Amino acid sequence: MSDVPLILEPEQLAPLLEHEEIKVVDLSAPANYLAGHIPGAIGLPFQALLAGTPPAPGKLPSLERLTEVFRAIGLTPETHIVACDDEGGGWAGRLLWTLDVIGHKKYSYLNGGMHAWKSAGLPLSSEDSAVTPSEIELSIAADAPVIEAQEIQQRLDNNDLQIWDARSPEEHSGEKVLAMKGGHIPGAINCEWTQLMDPQRDLRIRLDAKEFLAALGIDGSKEIATHCQSHHRSAFTWLVGKSLGFPIKAYPGSWSEWGNLPDTPVEN
């Protein structure tokens, strides 16, 4: 299934469901998953993808924990994962970013997620999906799209790294403080994640995303590090950047780490 695009429309996914190497993983709220999901889709609680430990709960879980999660959903080297959710792409993006971190490149995003699937009138199931666990062995990829606080701090004066802050304007400005320090990483460009979703098209990625970001100064000419508070919102902005061909990484510690470290510089 090497020809499956990264951004997949509902009408493209529907005929692929009969292929056994295609595995749909739904990160919607459990009640929404149970009320109706794509036939055969596996429900995965988003908490499984987070370390969950303060002060930076959005960091990656241990490799052992990730191995348990991916074995439980039946991941094999041949599996092509299609991720969806019910909120416009944050948790789906987090799953795809995690797959990229472990070097599993066979993945797609259902554009618009369950909003788009339901709007297209495609079939829904309320049955739990049977999963055959796998025995996959995981490691962190050498080219994992991860950047940490220390590297960001070292590169702030180099002018070779762009920070994309996916939080709200109030968090970016320091008006709303969710850590010891408020504000933003020096030089960071603020583009709230929801600005990349089109509410007129069932929360699909906006068609003019590239032009919209370029007008803000995010054009892929430099490496990009994206973050939010816990790398949930920024998992979607990472996905959008990747879909546009940008050299983009994510900072999973995000503001919950940066804003609580004693020596990190802040602007507001």
How far apart, in Å, do the first and last CA atoms of the chain sit? Answer: 47
pLDDT tens readout for residues 82-127: 999 999 999 999 999 999 999 999 999 999 999 999 999 999 999 9
Of 58, 41, 40, nearest to 49 by C-alpha is: 58
Q: Same fold for the domain at 7-119 and the one at 149-258?
A: yes
pLDDT tens readout for residues 205-264: 999 999 999 999 999 999 999 999 999 999 999 999 999 999 999 999 999 999 999 999
Mean pLDDT over 172-190 rounds to 95
- Which of the four pLDDT bands, split at 50, 70 and 90, describes residue 6? very high
pLDDT tens readout for residues 63-87: 999 999 999 999 999 999 999 999 9
Provide the whole-model pTM: 0.97
Does the annotation count 84 as an active-site position? no
Mean pLDDT over 180-198 rounds to 97
The alpha-carbon radius of gyration of the chain (Å, integer) is 18
Cα separation of 29 and 114, whole Å?
11
Cα separation of 170 and 153, whole Å?
23
Query: Is the pLDDT reported for residue 35 higher than 90?
Result: yes
With tokens 């199931």, the residue in question is 125
Alpha helix ranges (H) inside 126-201: 149-155, 169-173
Catalytic residue (choose from 49, 149, 225, 228): 228
Query: Is the pLDDT reported for residue 172 higher than 70?
Result: yes
Q: Looking at residue 128, what is its pLDDT?
A: 87
Alpha helix ranges (H) inside 140-203: 149-155, 169-173
The CATH number, out of the four listed (3.10.20.80, 3.10.20.740, 3.40.250.10, 2.60.120.380), of the domain defined by the range 7-119:
3.40.250.10
The chain-wide mean pLDDT, for the chain, equals: 97
Q: Give the CATH H-level superfamily of domain 149-258.
A: Rhodanese-like domain (3.40.250.10)
Residues 6+ apart with CB under 8 A from 150: none
Strand boundaries in the chain, DSSP class E: 7-8, 22-26, 42-43, 80-84, 107-110, 161-165, 189-190, 197-198, 204-205, 223-227, 248-250
Q: Which residues pair with 242 in a beta bridge?
A: none
Q: Which residues of 101-140 are buried (b: 16+ CB within 10 A; e: fewer)?
A: bbebebbbbbbbbbbbbbeeeeeeeeeebeeeebebebee
Break the chain into its structural domains and give their ranges.
Answer: 7-119, 149-258
Do 171 and 255 touch, CB atoms closer than 8 A? yes
Query: Is the pLDDT reported for residue 1 higher than 90?
Result: no
Cα separation of 146 and 141, whole Å?
10
Per-residue three-class SS string for 65-123: HHHHHHHHCCCCCCCEEEEECCCCCHHHHHHHHHHHHCCCCCEEEECCHHHHHHHCCCC
